[in-house]
Structure 1
């Protein structure tokens, strides 16, 4: 027993010594200054940006996105939709739907921006066969996946839907792919939006399904997937998921001295921004961390997605 005590004491002394010699941890700034080198119209209210720095950029894999830091300071997440093998530039595509996207559409070649990342919340996993389902601007993360599947020699099919052909970006690029692998399904040519069962029609047994687009489309695919022989569905949405089965609660803003009631069907972020409109946010899905707010116990709450009573350092 005395030997064990001595060994433990020795380890504690070593830990103390190593702690004294350890240099302070420095924050790493992963922001990359870039320049807009091209702005290209891709569809109605959709432009793509070509972003470069003159040096090779960090590598990325299909499904990755970057945080685009605009000249105003706004930060938004956009999927990378170029060629992962070409590190000379990044390409993103943006539909004009809000203040940040309007700022993107106003950019011109030579404008200075920055990105953080790339990061991947929608990873592309190796499989023998794939079904890709994209809705509108949801084609952006899917494009590199389609190219990767074709390069691997995997079986694949793309179902691409949207309001109309004019609203669907990258149709010219997709026209270079074999017709038998691509089904374009504009709502204007079929009368109504596609159901999940229609989008999944003919999916091979054991296939991996990758789906990106509006929430109703993703929901339809997820609900109807059980009726197929597909192995799994992977999805990414560009809007906040609806709050289902929520309960009302209260949050206390400690520094402001306010107590706010959050209804069952609303996010804490939305209620807080009614009294503190400058509270930052970005992805509204909980992974970027922009909306994280400190709590008195040293923790934090992601007020765009976390629900429940809390005391916030606001």
Structure 2
């Protein structure tokens, strides 16, 4: 049996509900309807009273989840789209993120954000907001790129004492599949070498891991270039040690992300490597993001807006020529 990325999320939610009576799910239309992407389909029947439909108010949803967490529950909040979570920004970053620092009382809540673009989704349903949340101390920000990580990291997120922003990529939901939900056991905060190489390092996360691997395969086929691909897996905490160790092997760095270029994860990676590992570089570190415009509706424009294997390969060619 093959498991899809959305199957992994469904299984993680089911297993967490089964194994811990404190866990409950809360979100818009997640009950009988099963959620916008059917991640919770059938769970309300299995766990009556613990899969709850929420009003159309992300601010209220986050407030309820935080209050429940403070009272000893383990809420898992589903935002229909990551973009809508900005309505709850005050609850998440000003209250949940700071509460333990202010009081010593943890807020073990998980906020699931269906993130990233899909063809035809446009500017209100395609954004990648991980860097915004990572800017605030007190939040854990998780960005799984594989089926096994989607399962294991969601289970781990629900068990954490900290509030977690779980960024699951919509583009991976149904086409990414695996024969198992069991991964290599890496914890949140530890990056993975997805593809080993020696000529350049690509550091990325979420759906861009797969685009980077395709770009690496293109360069190997055309010139024997061996590109190392590092999957960050989580961006808060971020595994700088694995990134720098990779750059030490290759001497070249390209940071790739689907989010907008201003600031963000790729800028953070380049900054850290430039500050802490400048002596290891044989070329200026580079980064590649989506274009600095709202995300277009038209599928062809959308395909040109985000990094692709072709644009990643082009950036790597420039890096390798230096």
**Same fold? TM cut 0.5:** no
Shorter-chain TM-score category? Answer: 0.3 to 0.5
Q: Which structure exhibits the higher relative contact order, with contacts defined as CA atoms closer than 8 Å and separated by 6 or more residues?
A: 2
Compare the two structures and name the one with the higher helix fraction: 2
Relative to the length of structure 1, the TM-score reads 0.33
Larger Rg: 1
